[in-house]
């Protein structure tokens, strides 16, 4: 199911196609992957912070939307607040692992944590998101 969710995520947004997001199999699961293309690099030759944020946010949002569709149809993401912690420069491709969302239905929020990892599985950055949820149409 994760592979189908990721394929839908990649097809859903032209920017993801432009950034050449892909997938990689880690620990018998498919994860979003950001390559090390020259147009994604910053002035020091590592992956740009914005590119790292984008792939982590895409995975977190996709993960939450999938969980809502499976267990609470009709709920949607209205807005979100995020904080990212950059741990080390990304000197090569990265892959994302997002935790299952934790829900607080009383406050109408969901929380996710996405870890960006190097190909050698070292954490590069960690994105924390609080999504505000709404039932029905926006």
> Is residue 1 over pLDDT 70?
no
Those residues whose C-beta lies under 8 Å from the C-beta of residue 5, and which sit 6 or more positions away, are 62, 63, 66
Which pLDDT value is given to residue 63?
Answer: 92
Which pLDDT value is given to residue 45?
Answer: 97
Which pLDDT value is given to residue 117?
Answer: 98
Q: What is the mean pLDDT of the chain?
A: 92
Which pLDDT value is given to residue 5?
Answer: 79
Confidence at 68, pLDDT banded by 50, 70, 90: very high
Q: What are phi and psi of 76, to 5 degrees?
A: -135, 160
Task: Convert 104-132 into a string of H (helix), E (strand) and C (coil).
Answer: ECCCCEEEEEEEEEECCCCEEEEEEEEEE
Q: Residue 95 to residues 21, 106, 108, 126, 135: CA-CA distances in angstroms?
A: 10, 33, 29, 12, 31
Q: What are phi and psi of 49, to 5 degrees?
A: -55, -40
Over residues 92-110, mean pLDDT: 96
Over residues 102-121, mean pLDDT: 96
- What pTM does this model have? 0.91
| 63 exposure class (CB count in 10 Å sphere: 0-12, 13-18, 19+) | buried
User: What percentage of the chain has pLDDT greater than the value 90?
Assistant: 73
Torsion of CA 21, 64, 52, 12, to 10 degrees: 30
The per-residue pLDDT for range 8-63, each reduced to its tens digit, is 888 888 888 888 899 999 988 889 999 999 999 999 999 999 999 999 999 999 99
Which pLDDT value is given to residue 136?
Answer: 80
């Amino acid at each position: 199911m994760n592979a189908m969710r990721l394929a839908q995520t990649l097809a859903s947004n032209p920017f993801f196609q432009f950034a050449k997001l892909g997938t990689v199999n880690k620990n018998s699961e498919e994860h979003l992957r950001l390559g090390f293309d020259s147009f994604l690099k910053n002035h020091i030759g590592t992956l740009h912070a914005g590119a790292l944020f984008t792939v982590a946010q895409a995975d977190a949002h996709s993960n939450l939307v999938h969980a809502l569709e499976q267990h609470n149809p009709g709920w949607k993401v209205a807005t979100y607040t995020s904080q990212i912690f950059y741990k080390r420069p990304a000197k090569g491709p990265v892959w994302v692992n997002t935790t299952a969302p934790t829900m607080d239905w009383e406050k109408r929020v969901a929380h996710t944590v996405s870890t960006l990892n190097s190909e050698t599985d070292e954490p590069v950055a960690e994105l924390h998101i609080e999504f505000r949820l709404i039932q029905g149409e926006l």
